[in-house]
Structure 1
Amino acid sequence: MRKLDLLKLSPPRILVSGFALIILIGGILLSLPVSAAPGHEPISFLDALFTATSATCVTGLVVADTGRDFSTFGQVVIMLLIQVGGLGFMTMATLVALMLKKKISLRERLILQEALNQSSMEGIVRLIRKVLIYSLTIEAVAAVIFTIRWAFEYPLGKAMFLGMWHAVSMFNNAGFDLFGEYRSLTMYVNDPVVNVVAMCLIILGGIGFIVMSDLMDYRQKRKLSLHTKVVLSTSAFLIVLGALVIFIFEYSNAKTMGPLSFQGKVLSAFFQSVTPRTAGANTLDIAGLRQATQFFIIILMFIGASPGSTGGGIKTTTFTTLVGGIISMIRGKEDIVLFRNRLAKDRLLKALTITMIALILVVFVSMLLSTTEDHSFLMILFEVTSAFGTVGLSMGLTANLTVFGKIMIMLMMFAGRLGPLTLAYALQPNKEKELYRYPEGKIIIG
């Protein structure tokens, strides 16, 4: 592509192209013999591309065992893909530019604005600096705690690698692990250190960089933005509600919580409530959960994390806006009011658009896969929603997908990471100014 053509691309198209290029490079690297574990054959290019897509889109669905099938080189490649995918390739490019003391152009600021879902370019480079400082600091602190914890089980060198690797994976809501046999963190279901640190990483990565920046500036401003209040209140509500529902449904389930101590039950209930917020790690056997719990987790995965975060889904603010719209309509009110602030009408329209596109994608792909994959519809719906929400939780379908199934799940992960609207804007023809408007008409609703 000529440079002139590249300059004509809109920010959404540059984001789509950038992520696609990173996935392709990652797929090539992971298919090389050097990426295969000693004594193992390199995985196929399709499986390598699937793994690269899952890592770059910070999902965690895997067709190859990360801890068993990849060498240290392959695992480092996956970790770097997670970091670049979680923070965004434009954020990482800005880091390099800042280190080289290069000036950030207007066009680059526009792309950063789109990548972080900001309404304006004001202070965008300052926000990027904060994002990088907060992210790397949080990951470093968590890596040290994990290293100390795992130093009791592994040699110090391996404990340090595991600590750094899982700190990056958890903070970026990727859900990849190195413990092999697709176990995730199930062996640490009763471990408060691993559980609490992992949950803190997932929550901090999922609330969004804008919220983190707002919280860090609270001491000076003594005020939180409406966005931060909505994200924190919605996230807290969903986590507590999710933990309560999972605790009740799974308390006596012999395949999950049944054999655990009361502390283990509480920890696992909260962990499984936090992780559908696009993290993907699990301390309970997902396939062993009751169907009611599995369906409830599908709902949590569909909602996902918050805007400007490492997570996917329709986002907490979208969910809250829809609920606010429903409540306002039932009460006969004209405005959606949150924390004594009225939302503009276009916020509700955008929330409806995102939700409908997401719902259509999930339903359509689930219907397609139900004809190609010989598994229950709930299992297929769970896997598709997990891919769209960039969650990574699995009932065991991913490793047994057909070629067509792998391609569809890859596309879902890609769409989920970029967001339905960004993808729609990237695919639509160039906008043309409307020269006229049609007369208003009325139809009967409901």
Structure 2
Amino acid sequence: MLPFATKDRHHLSFIDALFEATSAVCVTGLVVVDIQSTFTLFGQIVLMVLIQIGGLGFMTVAILIALFLGKNIGLKGRLMIQESLNQLSLEGMVRLVKFVVFFTLLIEGLGAVILAIRWSSDFGFPQSIFYGIFHSISAFNNAGFDIMGGFKSITGYVGDVTVILTLSSLLIIGSIGYTVIVDLLKKKSLRKLSLHSKLVLLVTLILNVLATILIFVLEYNNPGTLGNLSFKDKLLGAFFHGVVPRTAGFNSLNMPDLTLSTQFVTMFLMFIGGGSGGTAGGIKVTTFVILILAVWTLIRGRDEVNILGKRLPNDIIFRAFSITVYSTAIVSLVIFILTITEEAPLNMILFEVISAFATVGMSLGLTTELSPVGKILISLMMFIGRVGPLTIAFALARANKKLPYKYAEEKIMIG
């Protein structure tokens, strides 16, 4: 809200500033003002720092600061790291934090160099360097913020192989999760990977391929998106739009011009999200896989969920269903409220809420038209989506101990 954070020297309103800050720290990417024309260099750097902190995670940053100050990390701190990075073991938490920071800066640095070199011919130095750093951080942390100007993001680079593949690589690496990255570097063999890593990589590949094919087919003749592009540019555009909903938020296509079927596919991808422990949002790909496997197991009349030669414990299955039910309930409630407070078509409201909850940042144009109540609700959805619906539910609920007894069992009819 500082006057020198905006170009016209008139600070943003509290609600708009809160919305932008929440969107940045929750690595979402939804904006109520145009970043390039509204914020000064100082304001853009503030957003970039918030994106970096939000992507790394508060506990990771706090532990990093403590290490710089020479403090010892006790058991409580290690337990917090374990929870924040979604780790199954308590071993090597401090080493993991150091690796996360080093790996993040390394990949973001490489991405920034490539983008800066590519954009040097368009913007010149040193502007291309800042653009490269900002968009590399935004992509790796799955934030989706851009400072190219306008609300259409990088639609002008839909056929640019360097820009599209660099941004896609950054957001995919950031979305699969640090657990998978560490596992890949340690095992150095796909066969030796943990079940979690195998599932995340396999499902991510399947979803990206299927999404690319679907969007390519659905938008092939749409003059507002892929219709007027060459075959190569259509492939690049379809691939990028198939990847970004999970959950980067960059736009290579004009969002309002998408067909309803593509909007539905995009919302489905946004709700699924990326891998656990990464910078992506959504219910996570592993949760989605567990749901599919549990339903398939029930259809086949079996009582154990098996995948890739392993059996999944029941508590993981219950947790997956709980996360999905909580997420669906929260999204549905906010959609219902926005149908009352906002004058907009249902598909735009659906898209906006799911995008906020999944920390994606895509919009059909409703963000800038939101009422104050709508902005607060969408800000709340971004926060819930980043922290996690189940985490918030557990934090608000009282710590219930297991009952020392069991009730008599009785079946009821369902379905």
Fold equivalence (TM over 0.5): yes
Is 1:442 matched up with 2:411? Answer: yes
Q: Separation in 2 of the partners of 1:98 and 1:221?
A: 33
Deviation at 1:220, TM superposition (A): 8.3
Alignment counterpart, residue 68 of structure 1, candidates 37, 43, 50:
37
User: Matched residues, percent identical?
Assistant: 49
* Partner secondary structure for residue 152 of structure 1: helix
Q: Separation in 2 of the partners of 1:345 and 1:433?
A: 17
Task: Check the 8 A contact 2:184/2:190 in 1, yes or no.
Answer: no
> Which digits, 9 at most, give the CA deviation of each residue in 1:38-61, with x for residues without a partner?
x34211111000000000000000
Q: Separation in 1 of the partners of 2:302 and 2:99?
A: 39
Alignment counterpart, residue 298 of structure 1, candidates 267, 278, 300:
267
Is 1:84 matched up with 2:53? Answer: yes
Alignment counterpart, residue 179 of structure 1, candidates 144, 148, 151:
148
> Which digits, 9 at most, give the CA deviation of each residue in 1:327-381, with x for residues without a partner?
1111122211111101011111111000000011111111110111111001100
Is 1:307 matched up with 2:307? Answer: no
Deviation at 1:445, TM superposition (A): 2.2
Cα 1:74/1:164, change in 2 over 3 Å? same
Task: Check the 8 A contact 2:26/2:383 in 1, yes or no.
Answer: yes
Other-structure match for 1:257: 226
Deviation at 1:433, TM superposition (A): 4.5
Q: How many residues are matched? A: 415
Q: Write the letter of the residue equivalent to 1:328.
A: T
Cα 1:243/1:95, change in 2 over 3 Å? same
Q: Write the letter of the residue equivalent to 2:350.
A: L
Other-structure match for 1:150: 119
Q: Write the letter of the residue equivalent to 2:298.
A: M
Q: Separation in 2 of the partners of 1:117 and 1:320?
A: 17
Is 1:210 matched up with 2:196? Answer: no
Deviation at 1:130, TM superposition (A): 1.6
Q: Separation in 2 of the partners of 1:87 and 1:157?
A: 26
Q: Separation in 1 of the partners of 2:407 and 2:5?
A: 59
Other-structure match for 2:319: 350
Other-structure match for 1:116: 85
Q: Separation in 2 of the partners of 1:251 and 1:337?
A: 39
Other-structure match for 1:409: 378
* Partner secondary structure for residue 121 of structure 2: coil
Task: Check the 8 A contact 1:149/1:193 in 2, yes or no.
Answer: yes
Q: Write the letter of the residue equivalent to 2:86.
A: N
Q: Separation in 2 of the partners of 1:396 and 1:73?
A: 26
Task: Check the 8 A contact 1:40/1:69 in 2, yes or no.
Answer: no
Q: Separation in 2 of the partners of 1:105 and 1:185?
A: 45
* Partner secondary structure for residue 337 of structure 1: strand
Other-structure match for 1:16: none
Task: Check the 8 A contact 2:28/2:360 in 1, yes or no.
Answer: yes
Q: Write the letter of the residue equivalent to 1:35.
A: A
Other-structure match for 1:223: 192
Q: Write the letter of the residue equivalent to 1:53.
A: T
Q: Separation in 2 of the partners of 1:220 and 1:180?
A: 43
Task: Check the 8 A contact 1:50/1:410 in 2, yes or no.
Answer: yes
Q: Write the letter of the residue equivalent to 2:215.
A: I
Q: Separation in 2 of the partners of 1:219 and 1:116?
A: 21
Q: Write the letter of the residue equivalent to 1:281.
A: F
* Partner secondary structure for residue 223 of structure 1: coil
Q: Please give the TM-score of this superposition, normalised by the length of structure 1.
A: 0.91
Other-structure match for 1:318: 287
Q: Separation in 2 of the partners of 1:269 and 1:83?
A: 28
* Partner secondary structure for residue 153 of structure 1: helix
Task: Check the 8 A contact 1:304/1:316 in 2, yes or no.
Answer: yes
Alignment counterpart, residue 109 of structure 2, candidates 117, 140, 159:
140
Alignment counterpart, residue 3 of structure 2, candidates 13, 33, 42:
33
Task: Check the 8 A contact 1:64/1:399 in 2, yes or no.
Answer: yes
* Partner secondary structure for residue 156 of structure 1: coil
Deviation at 1:97, TM superposition (A): 2.0
Q: Please give the TM-score of this superposition, normalised by the length of structure 2.
A: 0.98
Q: Separation in 1 of the partners of 2:94 and 2:232?
A: 44
> Which digits, 9 at most, give the CA deviation of each residue in 1:120-152, with x for residues without a partner?
322222221221111110000000001100111
* Bigger Cα displacement from structure 2, 307-316 vs 325-334: 325-334
Q: Separation in 2 of the partners of 1:320 and 1:430?
A: 29
Alignment counterpart, residue 125 of structure 1, candidates 94, 107, 118:
94
> Which digits, 9 at most, give the CA deviation of each residue in 1:290-326, with x for residues without a partner?
0010011101000011100101100000000001111
Q: Separation in 2 of the partners of 1:359 and 1:62?
A: 24
Is 1:387 matched up with 2:365? Answer: no
Other-structure match for 1:266: 235
Other-structure match for 2:204: 235
Q: Separation in 1 of the partners of 2:9 and 2:324?
A: 43
Other-structure match for 1:12: none
Alignment counterpart, residue 168 of structure 2, candidates 199, 202, 210:
199
Q: Separation in 2 of the partners of 1:93 and 1:247?
A: 43
Other-structure match for 1:28: none
* Bigger Cα displacement from structure 2, 422-431 vs 334-343: 422-431
Q: Write the letter of the residue equivalent to 1:397.
A: L
Deviation at 1:259, TM superposition (A): 0.6
Q: Separation in 1 of the partners of 2:397 and 2:3?
A: 40
Q: Separation in 2 of the partners of 1:173 and 1:209?
A: 14
Q: Write the letter of the residue equivalent to 1:326.
A: V
> Which digits, 9 at most, give the CA deviation of each residue in 1:10-38, with x for residues without a partner?
xxxxxxxxxxxxxxxxxxxxx1112112x
Q: Which runs of 5+ in 2 are unaligned?
A: none
Other-structure match for 1:50: 19
Is 1:95 matched up with 2:64? Answer: yes
Q: Separation in 1 of the partners of 2:263 and 2:190?
A: 42
Cα 1:271/1:374, change in 2 over 3 Å? same
Alignment counterpart, residue 299 of structure 2, candidates 330, 334, 348:
330
Q: Separation in 2 of the partners of 1:191 and 1:292?
A: 26
Q: Separation in 2 of the partners of 1:95 and 1:222?
A: 33
* Bigger Cα displacement from structure 2, 433-442 vs 367-376: 433-442
